[in-house]
Chains A and B, each alone.
Chain A
């Protein structure tokens, strides 16, 4: 089991953003989280990444009990939230290299990641501040690829991407799954997301149900 949540409560700004969430994700799945804005999808992803404390319940991600060792899971997951986590004054290559150095990846890993996301041409030497929203998203995804996390947690990964970028992203996520990764992502683009996902979960009012 990659993710196992049982009656999990996460309190965010004195509000129970997850109010007794229970669900499981098995290895190799691509799981879609759907639901209205403010339903708790982002909180659920951030909790899975070990960024939010668990107030109640049992949450186990990649064998780590988040109630007692939520920091331990962080080396095993890759999180891409609404923000891209990039440095505007660095180039694409410098950004990806920076994140690769932090996790011990090689220059070849960086090259591979940039090739997969179509960033190895002139874009590699372009400052992130000068990129379009879609190009920035591709750059952020390249930092996840270089990381080769066991669990990918993506919040609106298609946002800002053009049609070609979305197709490339879907292809990348399927490749990651074939390579053994598990993907959990939130999306409002239901048609595309359901084609990509192997299973869907609905989050409403901080509670998770099977779609």
Chain B
């Protein structure tokens, strides 16, 4: 057998291994589908009951979708790192001598895929519950918004999940730290989604400026996260 001790594996292979591991665990445990998704759906339904006005609901539909997504993000990030800390696997990852930025990207992609699945259901729910109209150009804007906002949320969620993974009281610390940071995503994604839905007479073209902000946010936290994640996990 060849001597593998002391060698380093290509970053892409580590990203793939971590991504497949996280997705396989989700497929087995079904936490997102059986717990997070019903929770997010309930948030949408509760708002529908609380506001109880079609005009208001149509106007705020975009914001409610992203608010439900943010609440769900906290749970998914907690879960994503709980599987690594439960039996000391995070320590084993550190001592494996691998490039921890690859772990960052693997976990972020897995998180993004779970969020996209959640957002698709939430948007469908909003269209049905709040009777939102969606044009073809609005759909293009909405898909772009989902991809950009989800990338940003996944990168920042993974970074802060890693930061709080070993901390005491991490269940409450994560939302406290994460919520102010993701405020720009909430605002930009809401505005872009409102433009896609045509809420309050908004034009689809008005939404594209917000996509720019979402893209910058995702790029900053993608690069920053990959550089900082290793140090955060290590210390």
**Which residues of chain A have a CB within 8 Å of any CB of chain B?**
49-51, 71-72, 74-79, 81-90, 94, 98-99, 101-106, 108-109, 112, 127, 143, 147-150
Q: Beyond A99-B96, A101-B13, is A89–B6 a contact (Cβ under 8 Å)?
A: no
Q: B21 near A98 (CB under 8 angstroms)?
A: yes
Most chain A CB within a 10 A radius of its CB, from B8, B21, B29: B21
Q: Is B176 an interface residue (CB 8 A)?
A: no
Query: When the two chains form the complex, which single residue of A51, A127, A150 contacts B94, counting CB atoms closer than 8 Å?
Result: A51
A-B contact count (CB 8 A): 104
What residues of chain A lie closer than 8 Å to B167, measured between beta carbons? none
Q: A71 near B89 (CB under 8 angstroms)?
A: no
Q: Beyond A76-B5, A98-B21, A104-B4, is A87–B96 a contact (Cβ under 8 Å)?
A: no
A/B interface sample: 10 pairs, CB < 8 A? A50-B95, A74-B94, A74-B96, A76-B5, A84-B88, A85-B87, A86-B89, A89-B29, A101-B13, A150-B5
Measured in the bound complex, the distance between the Cα atoms of B82 and A87 in whole Å is 10
Q: Beyond A81-B88, A102-B14, is A71–B97 a contact (Cβ under 8 Å)?
A: yes
Query: When the two chains form the complex, which single residue of B7, B29, B88, B94 contacts A103, counting CB atoms closer than 8 Å?
Result: B7
Q: A147 near B4 (CB under 8 angstroms)?
A: yes
What residues of chain A lie closer than 8 Å to B25, measured between beta carbons? 87, 89-90
Query: When the two chains form the complex, which single residue of A50, A77, A81, A148 contacts B3, counting CB atoms closer than 8 Å?
Result: A148
Q: A99 near B5 (CB under 8 angstroms)?
A: no
Q: Is B92 an interface residue (CB 8 A)?
A: yes
Query: When the two chains form the complex, which single residue of A81, A87, A148 contacts B4, counting CB atoms closer than 8 Å?
Result: A148
What 1/0 mask marks residues of chain B from 1 to 32 whose CB sits below 8 Å from any chain A CB? 10111111100011011000100110011000
Q: A83 near B5 (CB under 8 angstroms)?
A: no
Most chain A CB within a 10 A radius of its CB, from B4, B8, B9: B4
Q: B21 near A90 (CB under 8 angstroms)?
A: yes
What residues of chain A lie closer than 8 Å to B21, measured between beta carbons? 87, 90, 94, 98
What residues of chain B lie closer than 8 Å to A94, measured between beta carbons? 21, 24
Q: Beyond A112-B1, A148-B1, is A85–B89 a contact (Cβ under 8 Å)?
A: yes
Measured in the bound complex, the distance between the Cα atoms of B96 and A82 in whole Å is 17
Q: B17 near A102 (CB under 8 angstroms)?
A: yes
Q: Rank and list the top 6 A-B pairs by shortest CB-CB distance, nearest first.
A: A83-B88, A75-B97, A85-B92, A74-B97, A101-B17, A89-B28
Q: B9 near A101 (CB under 8 angstroms)?
A: yes
Q: B94 near A75 (CB under 8 angstroms)?
A: no
Q: A103 near B4 (CB under 8 angstroms)?
A: yes
Within 8 A of A (CB), among B57-107: 83, 86-89, 91-98
